[in-house]
Chain A
Amino acid sequence: MITEIGSSTAGSLLEEEISSPASSSSTMGENFEYEYEDQRKKLLAVFNRIAAFRHLPQGWDSYRAPQIDFATQSVAKRIAKMLWLSLGTAFLEPFVAPCSDGGILLEWELPKREISVTIGQGGTDFEYLVSEKATDTIVEEGATRNVGALVTRILIQLI
């Protein structure tokens, strides 16, 4: 289970700025430049998919789904960016989907495991689930309000 440490805020996210995961690319070789550009595109693709949710109107799921609010979108981007900064070239694009309760689902498929995360409406509550792909067995699940603790749990699985 994820332990509760504190609460998260979405306000500090630099929405459009994507800085390099390395301190300085000028000292790196050409290969790094290519890899960095490739990874940057992956993060931008995730950002764009999340940003597209702003076009979903009230009731977009054909029922009563609320709009995916800005705070929820911001936190989803923040999580993606924190993972991108930590993983560098090992960054994996998650599947991203709007939830019918106004949240956002992020999912990563690894060779043997699947990691699912939901960001609740408003971007303050998170759920986390890891399952074995072959058996569909749940390996770990939890809930937290701390985005740092959540990202740590994801990183443990991704690294």
Chain B
Amino acid sequence: MQVQEVADADDLYRRIHPSQVKDGELTSAAFKDLQLSVDLARLTTPQRSLSRHPSHGLASITALVARSLGQEVIHNPLNINPAHALVIGNKSLATARSLARSATWVLLPPND
């Protein structure tokens, strides 16, 4: 599996657990992770990203926003998920909140 360059313009998908949604809005709780797993959108589809997790929603952030917040964004392909990427870096509450504010819904969780 070839590791690809992640461009600033790349969209990154992040699955969202329903408990991390407040009144339909994304919260910082979903982005509080030193090594935040995401999918490189151009290497997958929303349906594929959610295929094994039907109770979750799917949100999108851009690599540019993550980098502007001091995060490193790298492609980290896995055997089971070639689109896997990581947003690496300490995420203060303010950083996690900025990521949540910048994120847009691709697919809402089914119960929301």
Contacts and interface: CB of A to CB of B under 8 A. Distances in A.
A129 B27 contact: no
Given A127-B92, A138-B94, A62 B17 contact: yes
Given A53-B19, A105-B32, A117-B93, 17 more contacts: A60-B17, A62-B53, A63-B37, A64-B37, A65-B33, A95-B27, A97-B27, A97-B29, A98-B20, A100-B29, A105-B27, A107-B22, A107-B27, A116-B93, A118-B93, A128-B93, A129-B94
Given A62-B56, A95-B22, A107-B22, A101 B93 contact: no
Nearest to A141: B94
B15 A62 contact: yes
A118 B32 contact: yes
Interface residues of A, number: 28
A66 to B, nearest CB: 10
Contacts, number: 71
Interface of A: 53, 56, 60-65, 95, 97-101, 103, 105, 107, 116-118, 127-129, 131, 136, 138, 141, 143
Interface in B63-83: none
A129 to B, nearest CB: 5
Interface residues of B, number: 23
Nearest to A60: B17
B93 A97 contact: no
B62 interface: no
B102 to A, nearest CB: 11
Interface of B: 15, 17, 19-20, 22, 27-34, 36-37, 52-53, 56, 92-94, 97, 101
- The secondary structure that dominates the B interface is mixed
Contacts of A117: 93
Contacts of B31: 100
Nearest to B27: A97
Nearest to B91: A101
Nearest to B14: A63
Which residue, B19, B32, B56, has most C-beta atoms of chain A within 10 A?
B32
14 contacts: A61-B15, A62-B52, A62-B53, A63-B15, A65-B33, A99-B28, A99-B32, A100-B20, A105-B29, A116-B93, A118-B29, A128-B93, A129-B93, A129-B94
Contacts of B94: 129, 138, 141
